[in-house]
Amino acid sequence: MTEAKLITALNKDNLSHISKTYVPSRLLLGPGPSNAHPEVLNALSLNPIGHLDEAYISLMSDVQKLLRYTWQCNNRLTLPMSGTGSAAMEASIANFIEEGEKILIAKKGYFGDRLVDMATRYKAQVSVIDKPWGEAFTYEEIKYEIETKKPAIFAIVHAETSSGVLQPLEGIGDICRKNNCLFLVDAVTSLGALELLIDEWKIDLAYSCSQKGLSCPPGLSPFTMNTRAEEKLSSRKTKVPNWYLDLSLLNKYWGSDRVYHHTAPVNMNFAIREGLRLIANEGLENVWNRHNTNAKKLWNGLESLGMELLVPEDYRLPTLTTVKIPPAVDGDGFRNHLLRNFGIEIGNGLGELSGKVWRVGLMGFNSCEENVNRLLNLFDTELKKFSIFESSTF
């Protein structure tokens, strides 16, 4: 195509009829994102400033202090990585595994599979232990595998969003240290919502996201690492193979030097500072109690309506509940009905649970009694309309 024809083609359609951006109102009670807090949205809408402006550098320090409180750690290298949670997940693999090193991954859902995929791409020697979706690992199982396989890193998902399982972590850090192994935790669906004690539980590396417990839009991934992890990073024999996620370079920007690395998403950092400030204002223990209380109200309400939950209560994830779809119910039809007629999103099952469960999220700003009551009322009044057989009961 000649240049003249190309210009004509590009200008042929009059695009002036396209309206201003409009987004329908939604209550996001699925696996994420959840709704951002109004004060977070106000912060997000502020005019951007330069990513090396002294005012922004001061804000970066605030974000790091607030993250350390939320992570419950004193780690020097604690920062929000530019990118969604998967960016920090990949950074955890790219920076701390060299070709041929062994990583042991405890897999009990979709996001364990993602860790395996990433580690394989970085040519790690990947060893996997499996649990059926909906179950958690015992301390004894993990201890045996670490002591037997002697990995350089042990990785596990704290709050498995695909299955609704909350994995107990206490004691695992001690086993990792006795076996010269780094302890890596995926806290995507737990940070800022559930008890998570990085220093006390001796977690060496952890990552999360901005759009769940922190009540922010997606776009940043909080990350923290302790001195054991720093030592492993500094002793690498080869360069980190991912330039953008290279923590030795990011350290120079988020450390005391503030050396330019990339153009930071400044407005997202305005937002995460506000989300973290709101958590500190409420107090972490109060935040944890609020999420637990609202989750239990949801569980009791669903069970009183005859619904069955996938995960036993001892390992049930307060931020994400997996509800079995009754055999006589059109699961997609009900889910779409809630969205189209009431503006409420709940999630379909993921991976091997697709079509078998709904995933109901109560995270951050969305974890409140009002939302629980509203959803339970709709399950009570609307679900019966989606019975495949009119005479069916749940």
Q: 233, 264, 281 — which closes off a domain?
A: 281
Q: Are residues 317 and 353 located together in one domain of the fold? A: yes
Q: Are residues 157 and 134 located together in one domain of the fold? A: yes
Q: Are residues 131 and 189 located together in one domain of the fold? A: yes
Q: 218, 251, 281 — which closes off a domain?
A: 281
pLDDT of 263: 82
Percent of the chain with pLDDT over 70: 95
Q: Are residues 169 and 296 located together in one domain of the fold? A: no
Q: 226, 253, 281 — which closes off a domain?
A: 281
CATH number of the domain at 166, please: 3.40.640.10
Q: Are residues 370 and 262 located together in one domain of the fold? A: no
pLDDT, greater one: 16 or 26: 26
Q: Are residues 328 and 259 located together in one domain of the fold? A: no
Query: Which among 329, 334, 356 is positioned nearest to 345, based on CA atoms?
Result: 334
Within a domain: residue 184? yes
pLDDT of 392: 47
Within a domain: residue 391? no
N-to-C CA span, the chain:
62
For residue 300, pLDDT over 90 is answered with: yes
Strand partners, 95: none
Q: How many domains does the chain have?
A: 2
pLDDT digits (tens, 9 = 90+) for 209-253: 999 999 999 999 999 999 999 999 999 999 999 999 999 999 888
| 12 Rama sector, left if φ>0, alpha if ψ -120 to 50, beta otherwise | alpha
Within a domain: residue 390? no
Q: Are residues 253 and 355 located together in one domain of the fold? A: no
**Any residues with CB less than 8 A from the CB of 343 and at least 6 apart, and which?**
24, 25, 26, 27
For residue 270, pLDDT over 90 is answered with: yes
**Any residues with CB less than 8 A from the CB of 133 and at least 6 apart, and which?**
108, 109, 162, 163, 165, 351, 352, 353
Q: Are residues 102 and 46 located together in one domain of the fold? A: yes
pLDDT band for 135, please (50, 70, 90 cuts): very high
**Any residues with CB less than 8 A from the CB of 352 and at least 6 apart, and which?**
133
CATH number of the domain at 344, please: 3.90.1150.10
Domain housing 353: 27-32+284-383
Q: Are residues 268 and 299 located together in one domain of the fold? A: no
Q: Are residues 104 and 119 located together in one domain of the fold? A: yes
Within a domain: residue 18? no
CA 172 – CA 170 distance, rounded (Å): 6
Within a domain: residue 17? no
Q: Are residues 190 and 290 located together in one domain of the fold? A: no
For residue 9, pLDDT over 60 is answered with: no
pLDDT digits (tens, 9 = 90+) for 72-118: 999 999 999 999 999 999 999 999 999 999 999 999 999 999 999 99
Q: Are residues 178 and 104 located together in one domain of the fold? A: yes
Distances 84 to 136, 211, 220, 235 between C-alpha atoms, Å: 26, 9, 5, 28
- List the alpha helices (DSSP H) in 52-133: 54-71, 85-94, 110-121
Within a domain: residue 393? no
Within a domain: residue 138? yes
pLDDT, greater one: 328 or 103: 103
pLDDT band for 387, please (50, 70, 90 cuts): confident
Within a domain: residue 100? yes
- pTM reported for the whole predicted model: 0.93
pLDDT of 60: 92
